[in-house]
Amino acid sequence: EEHMAQNTTKFRPLVSQVKTTFDEIINTMVASVVAIPRIEHRLFQPVEDLETHYLSTVKQDEEIVEEAKVRIRKVVDANFHGPQRFSYKVVYEPYKYLLSKEADRQVEKFISKERALREYVREIEKLKKMAWEVGSFPVYVPMHLFLLDCSGINQ
């Protein structure tokens, strides 16, 4: 594929989207515990002088909530290196030409010349071996916060 030829790695979702999602999860968690009734109101007669009918909880704008978001963002950053840090692409480097027009040119060049049957057999066996090698690579590679999906390249 073109992105292999350009030697880049694409992440979906983007790291900014991952961080935003975690922020939204924290916001949802904080909002979901705001209206938890105190047990006294469930078990006993309502007490008139008791002003707090709900458990006290944190609010969205409190420092502890912001600190939690910052810590989670740091964890995402620390684990975002994924395949770029591990250079997983080097495994595919010998086969990179298969994703370009170069492989087609090599085959055309090979069949354009008259050859002995033994040479064709050798070439076919070489290509079969290469197909088996690529097909035996792991389809999914766990990498910290990410799961590298290699199914498109392996096929």
Q: Are residues 60 and 93 in the same domain?
A: no
Tokens of 9: 């790695």
Region 16-37: mean pLDDT is 91
At 154, the pLDDT band (50, 70, 90 cuts) reads low
Domain extent for 134: 86-155
Q: What is the pTM of this model?
A: 0.53
End of a domain among 31, 57, 80? 80
6 lies in a domain? no
End of a domain among 36, 63, 80? 80
**pLDDT, tens digit (0-9, with 9 covering 90-100), for 60-70:** 899 999 999 99
Beta-strand pair 146-149/140-143: antiparallel
Contact 126, 94 (CB under 8 A): no
Provide the b/e sequence for 95-129 (b: ≥16 CB within 10 Å).
beebbeeeeeeeeeeeeeeeeeeeeeeeeeeeeee
The neighbouring-strand residues paired with 141 are 148
* Cα(155)–Cα(152) distance, integer angstroms: 6
Total tally of structural domains belonging to the chain? 2
Q: Are residues 52 and 110 in the same domain?
A: no
More confident residue, 4 or 114: 114
72 lies in a domain? yes
End of a domain among 49, 80, 111? 80
